[in-house]
Amino acid sequence: TQLLEQSPQFLSIQEGENLTVYCNSSSVFSSLQWYRQEPGEGPVLLVTVVTGGEVKKLKRLTFQFGDARKDSSLHITAAQPGDTGLYLCAGVGNYGQNFVFGPGTRLSVLP
Amino acid sequence: DAGITQSPRHKVTETGTPVTLRCHQTENHRYMYWYRQDPGHGLRLIHYSYGVKDTDKGEVSDGYSVSRSKTEDFLLTLESATSSQTSVYFCAIRTGSKYNSPLHFGNGTRLTVT
């Protein structure tokens, strides 16, 4: 069974601070996705990373896929209250039938 | 934008009763998924479908069955609800033909089994 771990589980920071959340597994994934979920809604895709070592930027968010494709990180620069939410990573296997989700990091950015 | 609707949005039911949740998509996406979300566990796959009448089990399929008689509808049934099935249930569709095409989620059904 493929498992994904995320850390930290909870994070509360002040507006303007930087933060990094991590997604780790002992399994190799063909690609990895990050989603953000707000209360009462379903998760929404932020990014897909495919190549080991790949770095993608989405405004103030920087995503990195580990060289061995077993781990990923999400770095947020100058966090804003609008970044508040549950951040989920999802590993995708070779055939895409199953997306394995991590338990999430719940981020709270205080004004 | 992929249209996906879950119904009902909230349901309270008693232990032992059958419950059916519905997921409806407005486009002809092949892959559809049912997940449950519980604190500390993230999203766990219950069942998925890769076409009409083609379904397969996920990691937490015990106590659940699914049916897909039309491309646009994917039903999740709890044959005899138990308190451990109290959860938020999400339906998702895979929005492209690539294996890593993103999932698009509905807004969930909050189910409480008393």
Residue of chain B whose Cα is closest to the Cα of A46: B102
pLDDT of residue B100: 81
CB contact under 8 A, B103 and A98: no
CB contact under 8 A, A43 and B58: no
Give yes or no for residue B1 having a pLDDT over 60: no
Express each pLDDT in B53-107 by its tens digit: 999 999 899 999 999 999 999 999 999 999 999 999 999 999 887 788 889 999 9
- Mean model confidence pLDDT for chain B: 93
Is the CB of residue B74 less than 8 Å from the CB of residue B91? yes
pLDDT of residue A60: 97
Kindly tell me the sign of the dihedral angle through the C-alpha atoms of B51, B55, B56, B62. Answer: positive
Which of A63, A94, A92, A95 is CA-nearest to residue A76? A63
pLDDT of residue B40: 80
**Percentage of chain B exceeding pLDDT 90:** 84
Which of A21, A18, A12, A19 is CA-nearest to residue A102? A21
Q: Give the mutation candidate from B100, B104, B109 for the A interface (greatest A CB count, under 10 A).
A: B100
Residues 17-46 of chain B whose Cβ lies under 8 A from any Cβ of chain A: 31, 33, 35, 40-45
Is the CB of residue B108 less than 8 Å from the CB of residue B37? yes
Digit-by-digit pLDDT tens for chain A (111 residues) are: 668 999 999 999 999 999 999 999 988 888 999 999 999 999 999 999 999 999 999 999 999 999 999 999 999 999 999 999 999 999 987 665 678 899 999 999 999
Residue of chain A whose Cα is closest to the Cα of B95: A45
Residue A21 CB: number of other CB atoms within 10 A?
Answer: 22
Express each pLDDT in B30-56 by its tens digit: 999 999 999 888 899 999 999 999 999
Pairing verdict, β B32-38 and B87-94: antiparallel
Residue of chain B whose Cα is closest to the Cα of A101: B43
Cβ of B50 under 8 Å from any chain A Cβ? yes
